[in-house]
Structure 1
Amino acid sequence: MSSLVAAIRRYPLVATTVLLGLVGAVLALFGQTDAVRWLFSGFGLLVAGYETIGMMRRLRHGTFGIDVLAIMAIVATVLVGEYVATLIIVLMLTGGAALEDFAVNRAKRELDALLRRAPQIAHRLIGGNTTDAGDHGNGEVEDVPATEVRPGDLLLVRPAEIVPVDGELVSVSAAFDESSLTGESLPVERQAGDAVLSGSINGQAAATIRATRSAADSQYQQIIALVEEAAASKAPVVRLADRYAVPFTAVSVSIAGLAWIISGDPARFAEVLVVATPCPLLISAPVAFMGGMSRAARNGIIVKGGGVLEMLSRAKTVVFDKTGTLTHGTPTIARVLPQPGFGEDELLALAASAEQYSSHVLAASVIAAARSRGLELTSTETANEVPAHGVVARLGDREVTVGKLSYIRDRAPDAVAAPLEGGELAIYLAVDGRFAGSIVASDSLRENAPQTMADFRALGLSDTVMLTGDARPTAEHIAALVGIEHVQADCLPVDKVNAVKGLAKRPVIMVGDGVNDAPVLAVADVGIAMGARGATAASESADVVILIDDLTRTARAVAIGQDTIRIALQSIWLGIAMSLGLMLLAAFGFIPATVGALLQEFVDLATILNALRAIGGRRDAAVKAQLAAREPVSAGVLTR
């Protein structure tokens, strides 16, 4: 009963139309046909007037709404005395909003699920034993808003509760359901010290975590922000449905006018317009786009709007960053090559001390290598990083510069390139203007990178490009392994931006993951950020964010975009074709106005059901089965 009352309050025009229909039926039973005619006709004209006001407002904003046909059909049926058809058209017009609301809510179920599950409360531990989640000793637990949690706080996560903020596991072990974040249906086992993502659900035993981020900076809140941005957008193809208004209206009125002229019966004009009412065009495209965005979210892909899906579907070129995108982005130190006068440990300690003030992907690896050797790092308050070049630090009485070869040569002209094997990269050091040596690291290729290129080619994107700041030999080696056609190496962020702007085959997709990728992600037609590891700047600049550390999801985003656009346009044309067929039948007098109004409801239902196919549950299951069955593409097969 409460749901019925809520529906009536939400859709008062629909409720009023149904109530008047019931009143009219009762009056007709008592022979009051004139009262029924005045009741239905008067209400129909009132609704037509209300819709006309809305239409005029849209016209002032430059939009010719296709609902003009529905208004004309209401007026025409009133004029020819088809008052039952009048009420049915009003029900169709007002009920269209209810149908759309139901369909869209069905389509965006996965998006709403993310928002509903946002953690609100955290159980903060005060004292007690933090090594065993089941024994807190004399420690106390206080419930605080998740927004008040700060890095370093110890939190208790009870069984089946949502982890409120990003953290690391303090308990010996625990299992977490990360399906809403990664799409992985099985619980994931974590050990002490492992990262735990906010939004994941704890298993059957309580666990203790140490917060590493505040709620605002945590993975789940970032996802929610992206989802809200995505859900609030409007797709260009939905506006494209409005562009069908002029030709569709012209064709409909022409058919109706010819039917009237040839038959000499004005009722034919009304009968044709009744079946020409264009609710399928107004409803099917938004439903398809919400379905596509919902499907993407279910696959760990946040798409910031239906317009992005349309651009993905039309893409011709895909561009990749290398480090962290095609490779794992966690290089390991392979060799330390000091110049005469420097030792390996000394060189590594100097590099690690300076790299403490760098955001380069290799910095963490250098620091980890130095600490693994037990080397002491020097701190300083005088350090300056030049993005994509290197860092200069004053360490004691020495000036240490660490960075790419060209940057070091500006300070130490005697610097020489390190001998590199395939897939290796190097950083170079200068101390007080003298070349001190180089450190060589190796970054392994993602196992699914070759398969991703094959997937893109299967989707029709044969033009592939790599843009990287690394040296050409390393870049060309990786490109050959994965099957990328064009390589541009030694790129600064501005070089990447200019390279993407200069590409001829558009739209262009750019895939990256780092802070230095943010400008080129923003300038590309579609920027895809590999955001699983929290690349916030890249994620904010991108149009698509991959929440799972899986490169193949980039190709899946394109596949979802192509499916969604195909289904949206298919639904639009399905509605047009069915309406045109009914119009021709009505023009020859085979469909009375009342019957036509009922048939148009079935047209609405058919187009909505077709649009809901964009949710793609069966397609996703088929893709998973295909991925499980197929043999992975060998990197050697694609080597050139």
Structure 2
Amino acid sequence: MARLLKLVRRYWVVTLTLAIGCLGIVLALMDAGSAVPWIFSGYALAIAAWQAVGMVRDMLRGHWGLDILAVTAIVATVAVGEYIAALLVVLMLTGGEALEDYANRRAKRELDALLTRAPQLAHRLEGDDIVEIPADQVRPGDVLLVRPSEILPVDGTLRSAETTLDESSITGESVPAEKRAGDAVLSGAVNGQSAVEIVATATAADSQYQQIVALVAEASESKAPVVRLADRYAVPFTLFSLALAGVAWWLSGDPVRFAEVLVLATPCPLLIAAPVAFIGGMSRAARNGVIVKGGGVLEQLSAAKTAVFDKTGTLTRGEPTLVAVRPTRGFGGDELLAAVASAEQYSSHVLAASMIEAARERDLPLADAEWAREAATNGVQAKIDGREVVVGKFAFVREHAPDASRTAIAPGELAVYVAIDGRYAGALLASDRLRSNAHSTLERLDTLGVHQTMMLTGDAKATADHIAAELGITRVRADCLPVDKVHEVSAITERPVIMVGDGVNDAPVLAAADVGIAMGAKGATAASESASAVILVDDISRVAKAVEIGRDTVRIALQSIWIGIIVSVGLMLVAAFGFIPATVGALLQEVVDLVTILAALRAIGGRRDAKAAGRSDVAAGVVSRGAVAGR
């Protein structure tokens, strides 16, 4: 009941129109029917005048819309005495606007969920006390208590031993994430079944969740080019409708025929179809872990011809992993790795985490250092178990161990050299792993019409060529500076161009591309802010999914527009011969409105995504069973 009252208040003009209609029925039953034509006609003309004011304002701003047909239809039906048809046209016009608004709210449900779930409060630990404060008052370094099933108010690191977080609203992943002490946690995630403590690393405004909210707000306010294309139909459709109505009047000699045609020319389907479809497409994209910053982006994605990729963190995981341990004589492999991992505990280099993780995977004990110091960009020195361990670049290690020699590496690999107590101890090889689904993503893009691919990277040519060869990419540019990437993308002739990247250095080229897609799962960066779309989960296959959603959305938008045009024109032609009375025509147009909205709502795509997920699950099950049989 409360929901119904809310709808009644929100769409009060529709409510008033229905009330006027009910009043007319009551008066007719009470033998006071002579007042009904005056009431219906007066109310219809009042609504027409209200609509006309808005129409004139739009015209003064240079926008020629389709409302002129609705206003003309109302005036024409009143003029020829078809007052019931006039009221039905008013109901159609106001009801169409209400349906559009309701459909938009329905289509934006997934987007709005991000806004309504924004955490408002935080529980800060101050000594033995727990103080409840607004989330926007949290500062980096604050220790916060997060109770079971509460939303994390800010980004931070986990202080408690472990927890399970539901990050589906952030990443799109439905599987709960297991977190341990020291792991980064994101605002907007939902805590598990036990209370935990986190240390804030950002304010609420700078946290991941608020950055996503900002992107969503920007996305929901945009208007796509295809929507403007629908508006451009206004003048020819209006002229055609008025001309057809005039011809029908002239041939029949009956002015009622003019009103009958215009009742069916009311263009609500044309106005509603594209906006509903594009908002539905943005909602579908958000549900699939992609925030699209506007309907125009979906249109560009649907027509994309070329996809350009950064390498590190995009086609590869951006996290080098250990691939080989090469100790020299006198040192064991596990001994060498344990010494390196123990020393790397005191390094901030990106490779440090990889070495430590590799040692833990082999259950190797990590020792504390008596002392440690890091030489920026070169390596780290540490006293471990009474031995001096030096880890880093070849030149740095050779300064401490003159007998050091370079080791052979394959394209895409890098070497970390090690000296122990002044002797060269060996090298560890690491490689940035190719994403497991990178190749399948490129194949999927090709089937979707994105036939040209290119890789731009700041890495060395040998490494770039190695990765490109594995993926079948033939157009490669290595050793790129940010400005080089912009020039390369600007020179591409097969457009629109999609650019996919993840780093701050990719921000200029993401902004320069027709569609910039940022891999933003690891945090909101300059890349995310300059991109047209942001992938919230660390999964490159979402690039192909975004293109698929764009193609589906544009197809459905255009289908819905033409459904409205064709059905309306067909009914107008029938009415021109006098076969559809004005009152019946107004009722038919309501049905056309509803059909058009339902057609446009297909862009939300819930069933398509569910079917696709089902096919993926079946395929995974077949592979899994095959693997078991193979053993």
Regarding TM over 0.5, the answer is yes
Shift of 1:7: 3.6
Q: 2:579 aligns with which of 554, 577, 590?
A: 590
Paired position in structure 1 for 2:219: 230
Q: Percent identity?
A: 63
1:378 deviates by 4.8
Of 627, 633, 638, 2:616 maps to 627
Residue in structure 2 matched with residue 185 of structure 1 by the alignment: 174
Name the counterpart of 1:269.
258
Superposition CA RMSD, Å: 3.4
Partner of 1:377: 373
User: What letter corresponds to residue 570 of structure 2 in structure 1?
Assistant: G
CA contact (8 A) 2:298 2:554 kept: yes
The secondary structure found in structure 2 opposite 1:124 is strand
Give per-residue Cα distances to partners, 1:323-382, cap 9 Å, x unaligned: 010001112477999xxxxxx99xx99xx99x96x9xx779879999x9996833579xx
Q: C-alpha displacement at 1:262, in angstroms?
A: 1.8
Deviations along 1:446-466, one digit per CA (max 9) or x if unpaired, are 111111111111111110000
Helix, strand or coil: the match of 2:312? Answer: coil
Amino acid at match of 1:64: W
From 546, 550, 569, the counterpart of 1:561:
550
1:197 aligned partner: 186
Q: Is the 1:514–1:535 Cα contact (8 Å) retained in structure 2?
A: no
Give the CA deviation at 1:193. Answer: 2.4
Structure 1: which amino acid aligns with 2:46? Answer: L
- Residues 426, 267 of structure 1: CA spacing in aligned structure 2 closer, same or farther, 3 A cutoff? farther
Q: Counterpart in 2 of 1:211? A: 200
| Structure 1 runs not aligned, ≥5 long | 128-138, 338-343, 381-390, 396-401, 406-416, 429-437, 635-640
Could you report, residue by residue, the CA deviation over 1:487-518 in whole angstroms, capped at 9, with x for unpaired residues? 11111100000000000011100000001000
Match of 1:256 in 2: 245
SS at match of 2:313: coil
Q: Deviations over 1:364-405 (max 9, x none)?
A: 879999x9996833579xxxxxxxxxx899x9xxxxxx99x9
How does the TM-score come out when normalised to structure 1?
A: 0.83
540-549 vs 180-189, greater mean Cα deviation: 180-189
Q: Distance in 2 between matches of 1:362 and 1:466?
A: 24
Equivalent runs, 1:537-556 vs 2, <5 Å: 537-556=526-545
SS at match of 1:628: helix
Structure 2 length normalisation: TM-score? 0.84
Task: Name the structure 2 match of 1:294.
Answer: 283
Give the secondary-structure state (helix, strand or coil) at the position aligned to 2:610.
helix
8 Å CA contact retained: 1:317, 1:507: yes
Amino acid at match of 1:71: V
In the TM superposition, residue 472 of structure 1 has moved relative to its aligned partner by 1.4
Cα-to-partner distance string for 1:263-305 (whole Å, 9 max, x where unaligned)? 2211111101101100011112111111111111111110001
Which residues of 2 match residues 400-411 of structure 1 at below 5 A? none
1:147 maps onto 2:161 in alignment: no
Distance 1:79 1:545 in 2: 55
Number of residue equivalences: 575
TM-superposed CA distance for 1:626, in Å, is 2.5
Relative to structure 1, is the Cα distance of residues 363 and 159 closer, same or farther in structure 2, using a 3 angstrom cutoff? closer
SS at match of 1:376: strand
Other-structure match for 2:109: 109
Alignment of 1:486-635 (within 5 A): 486-630=475-619
Contact 2:173 2:537 in 1 (8 A): no
8 Å CA contact 2:260–2:582 kept in 1: the answer is yes
Question: Any residues of structure 2 matched to 1:25-64 within 5 Å, and which?
Answer: 25-64=25-64
> How many Å apart are 1:524 and its aligned residue?
0.4
Write out per-residue CA displacement over residues 428-474 of structure 1, whole angstroms, 9 at most, x where no aligned residue.
9xxxxxxxxx9975211111111111111111111000001111121
Secondary structure class of the residue paired with 1:447 = coil
More deviation in 567-576 or 149-158?
149-158
Question: d(CA) in 2 for partners of 1:33 and 1:96?
Answer: 28
Residue-by-residue CA offset, 1:4-60 (whole Å, 9 max, x unaligned): 554444333222222221222222223444421122112212211221111111112
Distance 1:439 1:542, change over 3 A: farther
Residues 208 and 524 of structure 2 are in contact (CA less than 8 Å); yes or no, is this contact kept in structure 1?
no
Q: Match of 1:82, as an amino acid?
A: E
Question: CA shift at 1:554, angstroms?
Answer: 0.9
**Closer, same or farther in 2 for the Cα pair 1:501/1:366, shift >3 Å?**
farther
Secondary structure class of the residue paired with 1:150 = coil
- Residue identity opposite 1:111 in structure 2: L
Aligned to 2:268: 279
Relative distance call for 1:425 and 1:496 in structure 2 (3 A) is farther
1:364–1:631 CA distance, 2 compared to 1 (3 A): closer
Do 2:517 and 2:531's aligned partners in 1 also have CA atoms closer than 8 Å? yes
The structure-2 alpha-carbon separation of the partners of 1:418 and 1:569, relative to structure 1 and needing over 3 Å to count, comes to farther
Q: Aligned AA for 2:315?
A: L
Give the whole-Å Cα distance in 2 for the aligned partners of 1:89 and 1:530: 49
What is the CA deviation profile of residues 135-168 of structure 1, one whole-angstrom value per residue up to 9, with x for unaligned ones? Answer: xxxx321111112222232221111111111222
1:324 alignment partner, one of 305, 313, 320: 313
